[in-house]
């Protein structure tokens, strides 16, 4: 974020779900780009694994075990970040949850609750605390990047909870972008398609709109982290409202 305040630790980011997957990849990319990063997630050991992979000055990284579904834990997360780094310049609202794809009549209430609580309620709670910090710090402002998905716009079959949650993220992004203007808070959303599995395993087949199964194209995770870094590097007066990154041949428009 060119033009944002520099703390003794540089620009500071909070990444939820920082112990694995895309959250880990973005945390490592931000640290590699010179940011200080606070990693949040439920598993302390996974957060420490990310830190070990980064191999950076310990003063630039902080692990805060957090269940983002719990308001008091999210408040404690942002208090810890402010105490350590002085301010928050970026929130990557990333933590998510998935459920097995089933018809709605076979979707357990517990799956619905877990997915919505993590993606929607967790995203709201983290954004609320980020707003509180960013609106009160000096210089005022910051940036929030919400991790959406193509399912925020077009669903896959048998994905009622995940699709509803990602559509809600899109709504959160829009209203936060509007409400953030008064405080110099830029809010945007990144929607990423199929990323090559980070564990090196094969890409699983996905159900198509016509009910058939197909293995779709993927992109390396670096294409995703490059896009996040692009959004994060914009000056405070510039917002990337929406950015979709996906393999050129991946079914998306009309899921065809």
Q: Residues with catalytic annotation?
A: 162
Describe the chain by its helix, strand, coil percentages, rounded to 5. 45, 20, 40
Phi, psi of 87 (to 5 degrees): -160, 170
Token look-up 């990557």 returns: 92
For residue 74, what are its two tokens?
């999210």
CA distances (Å), 75 to each of 39, 122, 130, in order?
Answer: 14, 12, 9
Q: String of b and e for 180-205 (b: at least 16 CB within 10 Å)?
A: beeebbbbbbbbbbbbbeeeeeeeee
Cα dihedral across residues 161, 178, 194, 151: positive or negative: positive
Angstrom distance (rounded) from CA 88 to CA 163: 30
Angstrom distance (rounded) from CA 62 to CA 235: 25
Assess contact for 129 and 78: CB atoms under 8 A: yes
């Amino acid at each position: 974020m060119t033009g944002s305040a520099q703390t003794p630790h540089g620009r500071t980011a909070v990444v939820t779900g920082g112990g694995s997957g895309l959250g880990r990849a973005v945390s490592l990319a931000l640290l590699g780009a010179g940011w200080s990063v606070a990693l949040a997630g439920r598993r302390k050991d996974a957060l420490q694994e990310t830190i070990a992979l980064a191999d950076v000055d310990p003063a630039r990284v902080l692990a805060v075990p957090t269940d983002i579904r719990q308001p008091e834990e999210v408040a404690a997360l942002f208090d810890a970040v402010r105490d350590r780094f002085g301010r928050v310049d970026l929130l990557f609202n990333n933590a998510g949850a998935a459920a097995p794809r089933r018809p709605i009549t076979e979707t357990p209430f517990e799956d619905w609750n877990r997915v919505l609580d993590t993606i929607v309620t967790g995203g709201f709670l983290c954004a609320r605390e980020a707003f509180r910090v960013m609106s009160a710090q000096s210089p005022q402002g910051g940036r929030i990047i919400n991790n959406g998905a193509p399912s925020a716009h077009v669903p896959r079959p048998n994905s009622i909870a995940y699709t509803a949650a990602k559509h809600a993220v899109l709504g959160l992004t829009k209203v936060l972008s509007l409400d953030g203007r008064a405080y110099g808070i830029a809010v945007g959303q990144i929607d990423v398609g199929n990323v090559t599995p980070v564990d090196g395993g094969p890409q699983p087949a996905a159900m198509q709109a016509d009910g058939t199964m197909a293995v779709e194209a993927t992109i390396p995770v670096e294409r995703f982290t490059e896009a996040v870094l692009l959004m994060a590097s914009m000056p405070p007066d510039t917002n990337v409202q929406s950015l979709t990154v996906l393999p050129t041949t991946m079914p998306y428009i009309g899921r065809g």
